Amino acid sequence: MKLELKEVAKSLDLPQGTVERWIRQGRIPIQKRNDLCMFNKAVLKKWAKMHNLSCNLSETPDQTEPDDDQVPDDDNDNLLSSMKRGGLLVDVPGNDAEFVFRYVVGRIPELSTENKDALIERLLQREELVSTGIGKGVAVPHPRSPMPEAISESLVITCVLAHPIDFKSIDDQPVSVLFFLLSPSISCHLNLLSRLSFCLRDNAFVSTLKALRDKHVLFEKIELIEKQADGKG
């Protein structure tokens, strides 16, 4: 679905400046292209419900989107499944974002050498645009656009760094934990980002991340929070 920024802000009952800032920070499942906001209506409504916000989107002809913007029936949009595919890396070395990116991307078996080089470049370009450090010592690196040519299933790779690094985060805190988010479609990316943002609102969950060593502990916590987000917990 495509709407002007002011229309989206009105539908969410939020100031336009707030919506624009949240888009820049990656806190809301919307992508902005020129003066238009692009999003999946169902995903945005679910995000609004998670954050106790209204979402009154009018029916428009633009509601009918290409297949890429439809909510998939498979588990690509499921955060837990994406995290299980991505796995957990601990004591990741490096003193800067580029070193960490190269280390992590080099360990993604699904990617060819060519696609690994392309992904690293796109991750660095995304950081130059605006930091993916969202605060609380956490960053969510991701390319600006999906990579269907490289992956067919979404991946969320959880990384605990050996040493905190400067990520130019919005709260100026060094980053100790990264969630690399890779998806084959826009709708999948937006939904995963929304679900991960919901999990990271849980301060108790965030506090356990730096000492995380067991992937099963991570998966159990994500499953619990995700059920709460879906109203099943």
> Catalytic residues, which ones?
142
- E strand or H helix at 88, and its extent? strand 88-92
Task: Give which of 120, 211, 124 is closest to 160, Cα–Cα.
Answer: 211
Decide if 169 contacts 131 (C-beta within 8 A).
Answer: yes
Which run of H or E residues covers position 34? none
By CB atoms closer than 10 A (0-12, 13-18, 19+), residue 44 is buried
Q: Which candidate, 15, 69, 7, places its Cα nearest to that of 43?
A: 69
- Altogether, the residues listed in the chain come to a count of 233
> Residue 29 is which amino acid?
P
Question: Sign of the CA dihedral 200, 205, 211, 215?
Answer: negative
Cα dist from 200 to 155, 160, 177, 205, whole Å: 17, 15, 11, 7
